[in-house]
Amino acid sequence: MDIYVHITLDESPALMKSLDCLCECLRDVINPAGVTVAETPKETATAAPAKTPAPAPAKKEAAKPAADLDKLTEDEIMKIRKLVPAFLHKSPDNKQKLKTWLEENHVKACKVTNVTRPLLPAILELLGGE
């Protein structure tokens, strides 16, 4: 399935960041596993079918611990979720501050639940947590 979107707008930095976040969201929705699908070449009637070797078992478990080190635990995510509403109600400008912080730190899809472990102390400081 191909989806083509053509947008013609000015190239302001805020707009470009927003479009970048939109593209990341669309990529995640369309292809959540991050797997790229290569187009299969069209076979001609004269071409002999190619023999494909049996795929070797992938060692995904070795890669998982490295990816899990950056992910937050459910308790940490819940802590952030509790701090965000209180932070937003303190001042009308806080919503923009939080959005700007997420964009500057390249948080995936600009969501506080996608904050990685290295950014945890910084977002807690911003939100007024520990």
Output the pLDDT for position 52. 60
Contacts of 31 (CB under 8 A, 6+ apart): 37
Query: For residue 113, which of 68, 60, 76, 63 has the smallest C-alpha distance?
Result: 76
Decide if 116 contacts 27 (C-beta within 8 A).
Answer: no
Rounded Cα distance between 66 and 68, Å, is 6
Q: How far is CA 15 from the centre of its chain?
A: 18
Output the pLDDT for position 43. 53
Q: Is the model's pTM score more than 0.75?
A: no
Decide if 73 contacts 87 (C-beta within 8 A).
Answer: no
For the stretch 89-109, pLDDT in tens is: 999 999 999 999 999 999 888
> CB neighbours (10 Å) of residue 119?
19
For the stretch 44-76, pLDDT in tens is: 555 555 556 666 665 555 555 555 678 889 999
